[in-house]
Amino acid sequence: MRVDQYLPGFAPFDAIGSHTLTARRVLREAGYESEIWAEHILPPLQTEARPYHEDTHRAGEGRVLLFHTSTSSPMSAWVKARAESGELVLGDYHNITPGQYFERWEPAIAAVMHAARKELAMLAPYMAMSFADSAYNEAELVELGYKNTMVCPILIDLEDFHRAPDPATLERLQRRRERTGASWLFVGRVAPNKCQHDVIAAFAAYRRVFDPNARLTLVGGGTSPHYLRALQLLVAELDLEGSVELLSGVSDAQLLAHWAVADVFVCMSEHEGFCVPVVQAMELGVPVVAYNAAAVPETLAGSGLLVDDKDPLVVATAVDQAVRHGPTRDRMVEAGKQRAADFDLSKTSKILLAGIEANLDA
Amino acid sequence: MPSRMADTLAAGAALTPPDVGPDDLVYLEKVRLAARRLAYKAPAPDDMADALGSLRDVAQFDVEPPTSANRREVELLKTGVKRLLSWYMRYLAVQLNNFSAATARVAEVLVGRTEKLERGAGELEARVGALEERVRRLEAVRAASPKDVPARTRSASR
């Protein structure tokens, strides 16, 4: 029996790319044949997937198609045609950023996101069943008319978070850490829905009121050059040059070095379908302060401090509580580690396999 | 999945921000305004100031493309290409930035004029409304006493 995965963009250092690779491993270990097919395959993953238009399998060959949805792609129409030809198609919804967030900064990306939502709605009748990373994502599917859905958290191998950090980066950061105050960290694409500007604003308030030597590191590749430019201007306007760094192209090992010196993970994102960095923070014992929106409260499940108001001083005060108030910090770290264990691959892989097997039985 | 910590903090409820001095208050207000400027606002189709802000956001062309990459050789390649093309990109970018600045200026002027016209139209509307009301009142008076009007008209003509 085959279970093949399809996704528009297969990229390294990407939550969906990692999830797909882990899902393939889980499927193969469970005895299924499994391949990855993609529209765009980015280096160094060329050997891990094949272009989807080279797929020559036909209906009746006894296989399941698992289609990952997160953006617009001609693959949606192709998947629909496969379903119409009688193949069993399952979905895996990782959420689509609402296009409105990009309209102001990157109108072309906004158009892609609007198209992606239309494609998601179009596919509803063709999916035998659809996984969703969170109940938040599942609710969107149900609203679009998806009949058969189930929550299966994104597959994460928590062991990956405990690999050795890049030694050179770690040494540099530890040396710097001796001279500076609290280290704030946020990890996520530079995108308007992630609201890095709110993290910078809260950090400015924190430096002013609580800790003038604090540092903020924002790690993430860019999807919006104009928003990135606005963030750089904001840092200059608030006199934070030298204490805020915006990093992209960071390897997994380098990122682990940043986690190793982080005192707090601050997430002001307004739209997340799951938020893998929150799980990474919890697993690595870094307390989380986050804005109470989208799937973030569900992923945290009470294991961090949630704020309902983004006022910079309110967020700064919550961060101060998480960083300097020992008992609160200890409880957050402990609760975070327990919560991260809920996403252990041994548990989440069973959910994925059970969902697929239920459809095979049907 | 169970919630293990009940520390969900609503603003101002569980956390009380500390008292801050006047200088800090001024700085914090600056921070709030700067962050608000970048915040997502629901698009309003007739909000010209918002549309103008969006134009300003995208009116600057950056000639410093990011060169970081996951692989060192790719980063070096990007840096090399950037250096080779920098004179050409700058030449184009200056013209594009001049053009976009002029376009933004035209938009600002048009928004200013439109707002002025809208204010004028609002005043005119109020004046027309007042006049209509006066006409209505006079017509009501006339309707209430139709016989008196010809008499008054006759006496006035003499």
**What tens digit of pLDDT does each residue of B41-52 get?**
776 777 777 778
Give percent above pLDDT 90 in chain A: 86
Q: Which pLDDT belongs to residue A60?
A: 72
A195: which chain B residues are within 8 Å (Cβ-Cβ)?
A: 39-40
Residue B58 CB burial class (10 angstroms; 0-12, 13-18, ≥19): middle
Do A196 and A221 share a domain, yes or no?
yes
Do A71 and A180 share a domain, yes or no?
no
Q: Which pLDDT belongs to residue A207?
A: 97
Lowest mean pLDDT among A286-290, B12-16, B100-104: B12-16
Do A112 and A260 share a domain, yes or no?
no
* DSSP label at residue A166: P
Domain-located, residue B94: yes
CATH of the domain at A28: 3.40.50.2000
pLDDT digits (tens, 9 = 90+) for A75-90: 999 999 999 999 999 9
Domain-located, residue B67: yes
Q: Is the peptide bond before A225 cis (omega within 30 degrees of 0)?
A: no
Identify the domain containing residue B109 by its residue range. 44-116
The ipTM value here is 0.89
Do A181 and A231 share a domain, yes or no?
yes
Do A204 and A136 share a domain, yes or no?
no
Please tell me the pTM assigned to this model.
Answer: 0.82
The parts of chain A modelled with pLDDT lower than 70 are 362
Domain-located, residue B85: yes
Residue of A192, A314, A318 with shortest CB distance to B40: A192
Rounded to whole angstroms, the maximal C-alpha distance in chain A is 66
The residue ranges of DSSP E strands in chain A, in sequence order, are 2-10, 36-41, 50-51, 63-69, 88-93, 129-132, 149-151, 183-187, 215-219, 244-247, 264-267, 288-291, 305-307
Domain-located, residue B21: no
Do A76 and A141 share a domain, yes or no?
yes
In this predicted structure, the answer to whether residue B2 has a pLDDT above a threshold of 60 is no
Do A197 and A299 share a domain, yes or no?
yes
User: Which residue, A46, A4, A55, A61, is CA-closest to A27?
Assistant: A4
Into how many domains does chain A fold? 2
Check A312 against B35: CB less than 8 A apart.
yes
Do A77 and A177 share a domain, yes or no?
no
Into how many domains does chain B fold? 1
Q: Enter the tokens of residue A203.
A: 């950090």
- Per-residue CA distances from A36 to A67, A96, A107, B79 (Å): 10, 21, 31, 33
Domain-located, residue B97: yes
Check B31 against A205: CB less than 8 A apart.
yes
Q: Is A309 on the interface with B (CB under 8 A)?
A: yes
Q: Which pLDDT belongs to residue A55?
A: 87
Residue of chain A nearest B8, judged by CA positions: A306
β pairing state of A88-93 and A63-69: parallel
> Rounded to whole angstroms, how far apart are CA atoms A262 and A287?
9
Identify the domain containing residue A306 by its residue range. 159-341
Domain-located, residue B149: no
